């Protein structure tokens, strides 16, 4: 019943996909109509603006201490979200915290993305024993729970924000390599690759100019999810004392240092967590929307 109609529309979209450009336009068009993608996009834009405009958004400095106004409750004074145990303005610290999270998200995802793409591309493209060895290694890496791997790497490198980024980036490489490999394998079978090969395209050209751009969709989804994951992981690391160090205004660290105030100052615990939640939610929403649009198999 329905399949007949789907077949019709599929034929139609096949014709349309003759032009890559129109496919991209179609995707953007569909994304606009996708509620979760739109909400996610708005949240992310807000988050990025917050990071860039931090000094102009608030009259306070993130590290200005004033013991006389410590633990001021929110919504009463000009410190809208209250102050922490050292009298620092909580809203200001949250706003500046977005900078840290943005940097962590971008850098650690770049690390996993570049290595993951390289490994997945080579493994999927060449196949054979290269692929077998790489995949074996990746399977072993995936046997170690990811959060644990991150914690260990950063513990070994020494606790710091930079090391946290490296640890998050490195421990995510296997996931990306797997996603990239899977989509390379699917793409490699297409006729146009054989055609280009017969026209004398080099392996490098085939890999980076033909296969990669065409298998980018799932990688893109994974990377979007990855930014949210990285922000969550870095917060966890900071919470354990392995990531950002005081007085950095990192959200996870802010929660960690507020632990002793669960009985006396709820806002110090609550608001940084809400900031993490909203930001990660934004990336997850966008990734969901992207998956709906880019991966037709997932469509209901």
Partner 1 sequence: MDKDILLSMEDISVSFYTHRGIVKAVRNLNLQIKKGETLALVGESGCGKSVTAHTINQLIPMPPGKIESGKVIFEGRDLLKLDDKEIAALRGKRISMIFQEPMTSLNPVFKIGDQIADVFMAHEDIKKDEAMEKTVKLLELVKIPAPERRIKDYPHQLSGGMRQRVMIAMALASPEPGLLIADEPTTALDVTIQAQILRLIYDLKQDIKMSVLLITHDMGVVAETADRVIVMYAGRKMEEADVYSLFENPSHPYTQGLLNSLPSNEKYSDSTRLEAIKGTIPDLLTIGNECPFENRCPFAMSICRESFPEETKLDDDHSVWCHYVSDQVRTHTRAGSLLPTRGKE
Partner 2 sequence: MLKYILKRLALLIPTLFGVVTIVFFMIALSPGDPARVMLGERATAASIEKLRHELGLDKPLYVQYGLYLQRVVKLDLGKSIKSGQKVSEEIRDHLPATVELAIWAMIFSTTVGIFLGVMSATRKNSWIDFGSMASALVGVSMPVFWLALVFIMIFSVKLDLFPTGGRMNIRYYFTPISGLYVLDGFIVLLKSGDPKVLLSALHHLVLPAIALGTIPLAITARITRSSLLEVLNQDYIKTARSAGIKERRVIYRYALKNALLPIITVVGLQVGMLLAGAILTETVFSWPGIGKWLYHAIEARDYPAVQGGIIFISISFVLINLLVDILYSVVNPKIRLS
Per CB under 8 A, does 136 bind partner 2?
A: yes
Give 61's DSSP letter. -
Whole-angstrom Cα distance, residue 80 to residue 89? 8
- The helix or strand, by DSSP H or E, that contains position 253, with its residue range, turns out to be helix 251-257
9's contact among partner 1, partner 2, none, with CB below 5 to 8 A by partner kind, is: partner 1
Residues numbered 158-187 forming contacts with partner 2, rule: CB under 8 A: 158
Out of partner 2, partner 1, none, what residue 201 binds, judged by CB under 5 to 8 A for its kind, is none
Which residues in this chain contact partner 1 in the complex, by CB under 8 A? 1-2, 4-5, 7-9, 12, 33
Q: Please report whether residue 50 would count as binding partner 2 according to CB under 8 A.
A: no
CA distance 43 to 9: 33
Alpha helices in the chain, H assignment, sequence order: 2-16, 20-33, 35-57, 90-126, 128-143, 146-157, 161-188, 191-198, 203-205, 212-214, 216-239, 251-257, 266-294
Q: What is the DSSP string of 84-110?
A: -TT--BHHHHHHHHHHHHHHHHHHHHH
Residues in contact with partner 2, counted by CB under 8 A, come to a total of 48
According to the binding rule CB under 8 A, does residue 104 interact with partner 2?
Answer: no
23 binds, among partner 2, partner 1, none (CB under 5 to 8 A by kind): none
Locate 270 and state its tokens.
């609550």
Residue from 48, 155, 186, 216 that binds partner 2 (CB under 8 A)? Answer: 155
Crossing angle of the two packed helices 266-294 and 20-33, in degrees rounded to 10: 140
- Choose, by CB under 8 A, the member of 173, 212, 280, 290 that binds partner 2: 280
Which is nearer to partner 1, 8 or 202 (by Cβ)? 8
As measured in angstroms, the least distance from the Cβ of 240 to partner 2 is 6
Task: Decide: 222 and 179 in contact? Cβ < 8 Å.
Answer: yes
Per CB under 8 A, residues contacting partner 2 are: 36, 136-137, 139-141, 143-148, 151-153, 155-158, 228, 232, 235-236, 239-242, 252, 255-256, 258-259, 262-263, 266, 269-270, 272-273, 276-277, 280-281, 284-285, 288, 298, 300
């Amino acid at each position: 019943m329905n399949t007949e109609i789907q077949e019709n529309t599929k034929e139609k979209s096949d014709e349309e996909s003759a032009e890559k450009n129109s496919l991209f336009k179609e995707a953007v068009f569909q994304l606009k109509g996708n509620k979760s993608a739109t909400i996610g996009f708005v949240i992310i834009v807000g988050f990025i603006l917050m990071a860039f405009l931090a000094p102009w958004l608030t009259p306070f400095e993130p590290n200005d201490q004033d013991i006389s106004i410590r633990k001021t409750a929110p919504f009463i004074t000009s410190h809208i979200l209250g102050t922490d145990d050292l009298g620092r303005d909580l809203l200001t610290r949250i706003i500046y915290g977005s900078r840290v999270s943005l940097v962590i998200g971008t850098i650690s995802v770049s690390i996993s993305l570049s290595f993951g793409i390289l490994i997945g591309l080579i493994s999927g493209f060449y196949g054979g024993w290269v692929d077998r060895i790489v995949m074996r290694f990746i399977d072993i890496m995936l046997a170690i729970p990811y959060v644990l791997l991150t914690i260990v790497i950063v513990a070994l490198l020494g606790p710091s924000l930079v090391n946290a980024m490296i640890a998050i980036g490195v421990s995510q490489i296997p996931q990306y390599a797997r996603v990239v490999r899977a989509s390379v394998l699917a793409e490699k079978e297409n006729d146009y690759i054989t055609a280009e090969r017969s026209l004398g395209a080099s392996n490098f050209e085939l890999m980076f100019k033909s296969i990669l751009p065409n298998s980018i969709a799932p990688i893109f989804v994974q990377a979007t999810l990855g930014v949210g994951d990285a922000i969550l992981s870095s917060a966890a690391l900071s919470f354990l004392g392995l990531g950002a160090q005081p007085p950095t205004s990192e959200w996870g660290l802010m929660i960690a240092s507020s632990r002793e105030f669960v009985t006396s100052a709820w806002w110090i615990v609550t608001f940084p967590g809400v900031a993490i939640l909203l930001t990660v939610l934004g990336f997850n929403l966008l990734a969901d929307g992207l998956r709906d649009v880019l991966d037709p198999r997932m469509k209901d």
